[in-house]
Structure 1
Amino acid sequence: MGIEFLSRGAKQCYFVDSSQVSINTIKENLIKTKLNEQATVIKNNVLNVINKLQLNNVEFDYIFMDPPYKKRLEVDTLEKIYESNILRENGTIIVEHDTKTELDEKILGLELVDYRKYGRTSISFYRIGDV
Structure 2
Amino acid sequence: MRVISGLRKGYKLLGPKSTKSRPTEDKVKEAVFNVLYPYRSGGVALDLFSCTGSIGIEFLSRGSKKVFFSESNYDNIRILKENLDKTHFTEQAQILGGDFKKNILLVDENVDYVYIDPPYYSDFYIKSLDIMKDIEFFKEALFILEADKKIDVLEEFDCFELLFQRQYGKKEISIYKIIDLGERKTNESDLPG
Q: TM-score, normalised by structure 2?
A: 0.60
Partner of residue 6 from structure 1, selected from 41, 60, 65: 60
Shift in Å at residue 85 of structure 1? Answer: 2.4
When the two chains are superposed, the root-mean-square deviation of aligned CA atoms in Å is: 1.6
> In the alignment, is the contact (CA less than 8 A) between 2:116 and 2:144 conserved in 1?
yes
User: C-alpha distance in 2, partners of 1:108/1:67?
Assistant: 23
- How many residues matched? 126
Counterpart in the other structure of 2:151: 102
- Does residue 127 in structure 1 map to residue 177 in structure 2? yes
- Does residue 52 in structure 1 map to residue 52 in structure 2? no
User: C-alpha distance in 2, partners of 1:108/1:50?
Assistant: 21
Letter aligned with residue 90 of structure 2: N
Partner of residue 131 from structure 2, selected from 80, 96, 103: 80
Name the structure, 1 or 2, with higher relative contact order (CA <8 Å, separation 6+).
1
Shift in Å at residue 130 of structure 1? Answer: 3.5
User: C-alpha distance in 2, partners of 1:30/1:6?
Assistant: 10
Deviations 1:53-86 (A, max 9, x none): 2xx4x22011111112233311111111111222
Q: Point out the structure with the larger strand share.
A: 1
User: C-alpha distance in 2, partners of 1:77/1:31?
Assistant: 28
User: C-alpha distance in 2, partners of 1:60/1:40?
Assistant: 13
The structure with the largest alpha-carbon Rg is 2
User: C-alpha distance in 2, partners of 1:102/1:61?
Assistant: 21
Counterpart in the other structure of 2:76: 22
Shift in Å at residue 94 of structure 1? Answer: 0.8
Report runs of 4+ in structure 1 exceeding 6 Å deviation.
Answer: none
Letter aligned with residue 144 of structure 2: I
Counterpart in the other structure of 1:93: 143
Letter aligned with residue 78 of structure 1: L
Letter aligned with residue 66 of structure 1: D
User: C-alpha distance in 1, partners of 2:93/2:158?
Assistant: 30
- Structure 1 residue ranges without an equivalent (≥5): none
Name the % identity. Answer: 35
> In the alignment, is the contact (CA less than 8 A) between 1:113 and 1:126 conserved in 2?
yes
> In the alignment, is the contact (CA less than 8 A) between 1:50 and 1:84 conserved in 2?
no
Other structure's SS at 1:30 match: helix
- Structure 2 residue ranges without an equivalent (≥5): 1-54, 182-193
